[in-house]
Structures are given as structure tokens and as C-alpha cells.
Amino acid sequence: MAFNNKFKKSSSPSNLTFFITLFFLVLCTIPVFLLLQTSTTSTTLSKTWSGDLRLAEFAWNKLPFLEHNPSPVPLKIAVFSRKWPIGTIPGGMERHAYTLHTALAQRGHKVHIFTSPPQEETTSTFSSDTTKEADANAPSSPYIHCHEGEPGKWRYNKAWEQFLEQNQKEPFDVVHSESVALPHWLARELPNLAVSWHGIALESLQSSIFQDLARTQDEPRSPNFDKGLQGVLPKILNEIRFFRKYAHHVAISDSCGEMLRDVYQIPNKRVHVILNGVDKDEFREDVELGKEFRIKIGIPSNASLVLGVAGRLVKDKGHPLLHEAYSMLITKYPNVYLIVAGSGPWENRYRDLGSHVLVLGSMSPSMLRAFYNAIDIFVNPTLRPQGLDLTMMEAMMSGKPLLASRFPSIKGSVVVDDAFGFMFSPNVESLLEALEAVVKEGKERLARRGKACREYAISMFTATKMALAYERLFLCIKEDRFCNYP
């Protein structure tokens, strides 16, 4: 009884809400963490697989689609993307959309992009004038429809109006939404819709947990952490309810596909795994380019090892881990350099580590090619369990091994073989241990790993392979006869 009285005195409504939230949080995440431990990759390349593609639970990238054959049916494709890389350095989602739909347009499909106004003035040949119907039939590039309004600000209602106008002239065969660019209350009315998921609320919850676990002992918890936890659970529940209303889902990793089937309860025939792809001509091995870039940015020829990291310099990308682990590494191995390509809150903190860290800011894809060729190994310390950054694929295509967080999305879809690099648990101690193993291994062995990475990347992560997989899915959505493989 004394215990009960004490409990009542210390419990305020806000505390009670917090404890209830934590209870359901634990209840929700335990099955998810069990799922995270499950292997999600097929042990074979599925080259002999045949059947209804809609039943395939492995990545379609494993199937040998014939790239030199023209599409049996030219498609009219509508794409909703919050941003399109016109005159700006694009983020991962925009680069995915640009690479995919440019490749589809080059294969003869009529691709219409519905997006926000560009953030910068550009001399791009892309047009936002929806009256130029001749451009819509061009086989080489998508036709861009930028809605009116503030540059870079997405207004789905305006984009929807433009879509309806174009759809009335000639109906679209398929509609592709990049994540929730098209809200579900509009999208659920489209039986020919495919949604590509670059992130879901459950992944945000997991990321928040790993970010909090990465705090140092003397670092206070963010005041927004508890508030965020209370808000994310209703969002997850809402997603689980409305995701079922989308006609087709494209997961960009094997583990995300498994999450959509097992946790979000979406029928197998409506979940399709297609991994992202990158331009193999843009990202390739170029030893001389790498040497020139090292000289240009001031890395001495006697550097024992050069690490590289690229992307947004924010907490959920794991920069607190890399910052601390590298600062400890150089006390023991002072001749190891770190090149940082990207911008964000952690820029100045990296610069504070001294002259062995070179922070280069955001880079265009062409500049990234030189960056990848200048490093010995690419580091991806992400704290996002379902993420699958394009930078890893670009690095592998450039012939570089990986040092990456041990998450199902990466382990199951990218670092599927120990020969491709190293993995670590998302904490400083594990990352430091992995960094030391990399240093001890040396450049020559890392270069051999890089060769294996490029071979695998060419077989799985090319823009052509990605585009052919999406093309087959879109054909399947249009007509059932295209669903049978081969």
C-alpha cells in the first residue's frame, strides 16, 4: 500500500502519458528489432527464377532483363517528385528520380515530371511550359511541369491540377510517386499507381532510438526527443492504415520490402523490391583523376590511408560517431586522412579536428567522381536502419570498398559479402575497432576489395538495371501479361 501511495504522489498526467508512450513504444519496437536480425537477402542470384514477378520477394535487380531490347509498349508515365535537380546539387531522392526517369525517357517512354519550381535560375533545356506538346514526345529527356509558387516549395494540389490536365489529353499508363509526394487521399484513387519508399515513419522511430543511444554520457537528451516519441507512434499507426490503400509499393532495399509486408501488412503481390542504381559511366575507376584530386586538395603523397564520407552532415547520418571515432583514431595513427564531402551542422566540428580532415562542402555528381577516386575506403556511419544511401553504390561503382553500419538494409542489399568491406554496430567503440582494422589491412588489400565491389555494383546497381526493372513493373501495372517472367 505504501508503494501505491508513493506512486500516486509522483505521477502527474504528463508523466503518466510519457510512461504509457514508452510502454507502447517498447511493445511496438521489440518485434521490429527481432525483424531487424532476420536475414533478408536471397542466397542465389535468381537467374533461373521464373513466375509471376509480383510474387518475387527478392530485389528485381537480380534478374537479367535484356537492356538492348526496346520496350514492347511505349508508356506515358506521370512522376510526382517534390523536387527535381534543375540548377541545384540534388539530394539522394532527387538523384534517384532524375537517374531513373531520364533513363526511361531515353528508352522511348513519354515521361512527365510534376514538381516544385526550381530553387535557382538555370539554363537547363528542360521546360516548365506545359503547352509545348512536342517536347513531351522527345525520347531523350523527361518533360518537366513545375507548378507555380515559391521556389523549392512543394504544392501537391497545384501539381495534381497539372496532372489532371495532362491526363485528360491522353491518359497516363502509370503514375509514380516518390515517397509521399502524392498524398494518400489522392493516390488511393489511382489503380495504376506505384510509390517508391525512401523512408517511412517506423524507420524514423528506429533512427531516433539509435541517435539517442549514440549520445555521450555527459550529453543531455534533446528536449524534442520525448515529444518526438509521443508523436511518432500515431504517425506509424496512420501509415500502417493508409499504406494499404496504395496500389503498388516499391521498396528500395530488401529489408524495407520485408518491413512493408510483415509490419505494414501489405499483400506480397503489391510490394516490389527494386534497388537504386547509378550511372556506371559517371561513377567509374579513374586512378589519375584520384591522384590529381588529392594534389588539388592538399593530401600528401605519403598519407598512409585516406577515408571518405559524403552526404548531409547531420546527426542521423551518423556524424557524431565518425567525428568521435576518427578523433580517437588519429592519436594512434596520425597519418590517416579524412575527406568530408557534404554540408550541414557538423561541418565546423570536422574542421576543428585539424589539418588531416578536409571538409569540401556539397558536390555535384561530376565532382563526386573525383572524390571517390581519391579515397581508399568509403565510410557510411548512418543511424537510419532502413536507409540505403546512393553514395555507397557510387563508391562501389568507383571501385572502393565500404565501411558501413550493420543494418539490415545495408547488410542485406549492399555489403552482402565480407569481401566488399567492413561493418560495425552503430556506436563509437565498434566503429573505432573497424577503423583500426581498416588501417591495419592497408591500401593494397583495400584495393582488391574495391575491385570486387565494382564487379558486384555493375551486376546490381547500374542505372540501366534499375530502369529496366521499373519499366517491367510499369508494364506489369499496365497489362497483366507483362507480369510473367521471363
pLDDT tens digits, one per residue of 286-345: 999 999 999 999 999 999 999 999 999 999 999 999 999 999 999 999 999 999 999 999
The sign of the dihedral angle between the CA atoms of 247, 92, 382, 235 is: negative
CA–CA dist 450, 240 (Å, integer):
40
- Give dist(CA 262, CA 4) in Å, integer: 40
CB 105 within 8 A of CB 141: yes
3-state DSSP percent of the chain in helix, strand and coil, to 5: 50, 15, 35
Q: What is the pLDDT of residues 410-439, one digit of tens each?
A: 999 999 999 999 999 999 999 999 999 999
Cα separation of 111 and 135, whole Å? 10
Q: What is the mean pLDDT of residues 103-120?
A: 93
Render 222-268 in DSSP notation, one character per residue: PHHHHHHHHHHHHHHHHHHHHHTTSSEEEESSHHHHHHHHHTS---G
Assigned CATH for 51-279+463-485 = 3.40.50.2000
Say how far apart CA 47 and CA 302 lie, in whole Å: 45
Confidence of residue 125 (pLDDT cuts 50, 70, 90): very low
| Amino acid at residue number 89 | I
Per-residue burial over 406-418, b if 16 or more Cβ lie within 10 Å, else e, is: bbbbbbbbbbbee
Q: What is the pLDDT of residues 193-225, one digit of tens each?
A: 999 998 888 888 888 888 888 887 788 887 777
Q: Please report which helix (H) or strand (E) contains residue 404, including its range.
A: strand 402-405
Distance CA 90, CA 101 (A): 15
442/305 Cα distance (integer angstroms): 7
pLDDT given at position 3: 38
What is the residue whose three cell numbers read 546497381? 461
Helical (H) or strand (E) element with 379: strand 377-380
Region 113-127 average pLDDT: 66
Topology (CATH level 3) of domain 287-460: Rossmann fold (3.40.50)
What is the rounded CA–CA span in Å between residue 84 and residue 15?
A: 44
Q: What confidence score (pLDDT) does residue 221 get?
A: 83
Cβ proximity of 392 and 404 under 8 Å: yes
More confidently predicted of 151 and 133: 151
CA separation for the pair 486, 299 (Å, rounded) = 50
Query: Which band of pLDDT confidence, cut at 50, 70 and 90, is reported for residue 67?
Result: confident
Cell digits of residue 467: 530502369
Percent of the chain scored above 90 by pLDDT?
69
Interaxial angle between packed helices 13-36 and 254-262, expressed in degrees from 0 to 180 and rounded to the nearest 10: 120
